[in-house]
Structure 1
């Protein structure tokens, strides 16, 4: 029933991300494997049991920071800038080495980022053409995805400046901006959007992951207020609906009882009366959750108290005798069971 949806805290599951980065961390800087972080709850079929991942395509043992440095050093990456900028100057053997992928689909740039060797990563970014920068591994993660997960802001900046794609989606449908919005990587998000024209950024902001969530939805779900504000300034559609139940960021903020997000969205011009697929407005949700403070804020912002959901219920019908909420609704009209019958005129 729609009324149940209006009352129930059924916003999408939070904090689901790709599985790959935790497995990567198990061998960062040649450390012992670690237990997967609780922050990462995505599928783990490829890395069950927390075993150490081996990048066998580059040899019979796990790649270490030292071996990465040796591999890159053999390609004279410390030479002149002109040599760094033109892959055509590499020998065929060097080019094959640098563009080889591991059995997990990682390029040497993926590995440099995984090992958090930022200097090598930055050198490789200058060396590689855009097509190599956008190679996705078996989890559909580009180097930019990994740099964002690990909050390597400078690497993110270099990749974006070189033209790395913002539209590629990983195995959960997340773009790199989705990742930044979910994990609160504010500086990474800023670097991704700083120099991008509105016409190029608009389609990125409209992309939904496989759970139907845009970047703004993820920022709202995770209470990342600065990122929400930045996305609004960049022209994000504040009224865009997620794909499963038609909630806007304002619906999600109301469900979370997040008054800061509610105020932010309303001040930026979010539509206070946008309805979910079942007809519930943010006011329906606030009243159904007995949140008088947010319900009052919505009413002050012009929420229509007489809108009905698919069950033909107004927000007043969901008040359940809560005096604080009932006090918000005017009684200028004669009503029967919450339905306005006729205005009283003398």
Structure 2
């Protein structure tokens, strides 16, 4: 924090400068390492929260991917983000959280009204995405909401159970079958 304040006080650096490899801004980097106070300071000093990296991911998507709940709360409090915004693979923040085993983030986003019915560019819903990562607790939670079709198929014709089987997650396959999956 001390170093960030010093660099900002010198006024020589562009607060929205980009790293070459992924086109990340300092705000995106602070988000990815879950540094809430640096995130707040950068935003206070004019960092643009809506910029996207090389993959089309904004800071909200990144905070959900890494499970930074407090940073996500802060971003949503700015009232500039659509909670169902899209990024890489046309995925939503909810899908990113499910894909990267961020169960608490999944619950938080659902509590804030994230749309469970959306699908990504491959036709995967949040259940398909959760089955890729294999987080049984998140899958149980999603199914407990009674809004997802357990046998929904993506554009390749795969169900969540088929994705779990392909990923060699037998515990998920067994659970989904117990829940009525075909």
TM-score by length of 1: 0.43
Match status 1:201 vs 2:81 = yes
Give me the CA root mean square deviation: 3.1
Alpha-carbon distance change, 268 to 151 in structure 1, aligned in 2, over 3 angstroms: same
CA deviation string 1:94-148 (max 9, x = no partner):
xxxxxxxxxxxxxxxxxxx8xx714325657xx79xxx54343434222211222
Q: Which whole-Å CA distance do the structure 1 matches of 2:124 and 2:104 have between them?
A: 21
Larger Rg: 1
Gaps of 5+ in 2: none
Q: Which residue of 1 aligns with 2:100?
A: 222
CA contact (8 A) 2:131 2:164 kept: yes
Q: Which residue of 2 aligns with 1:143?
A: 26
Match status 1:251 vs 2:142 = no
Q: Which whole-Å CA distance do the structure 2 matches of 1:118 and 1:207 have between them?
A: 30
Alpha-carbon distance change, 285 to 179 in structure 1, aligned in 2, over 3 angstroms: closer
In the TM superposition, 1:75-154 aligns within 5 A as 117-120=3-6, 123=9, 133-138=15-20, 139-154=22-37
CA contact (8 A) 2:17 2:25 kept: yes
Gaps of 5+ in 1: 1-112, 300-304, 306-314, 316-346
Q: Which residue of 1 aligns with 2:178?
A: 296
Shift of 1:225: 0.9
Shift of 1:248: 1.5
Match status 1:173 vs 2:33 = no
CA deviation string 1:282-330 (max 9, x = no partner):
3554677652222223x3xxxxx6xxxxxxxxx3xxxxxxxxxxxxxxx
Q: Which whole-Å CA distance do the structure 2 matches of 1:268 and 1:165 have between them?
A: 35
TM-score by length of 2: 0.75
Shift of 1:261: 0.9
Which secondary structure state, in structure 1, belongs to the residue aligned with residue 84 of structure 2? helix
Shift of 1:268: 4.1
Q: Which whole-Å CA distance do the structure 2 matches of 1:237 and 1:283 have between them?
A: 21
Structure 1 segments, 4+ long, off by >4 Å, are: 121-124, 283-290
Which secondary structure state, in structure 2, belongs to the residue aligned with residue 205 of structure 1? coil
Shift of 1:267: 3.4
Q: Which whole-Å CA distance do the structure 1 matches of 2:147 and 2:59 have between them?
A: 25
CA contact (8 A) 1:239 1:274 kept: no
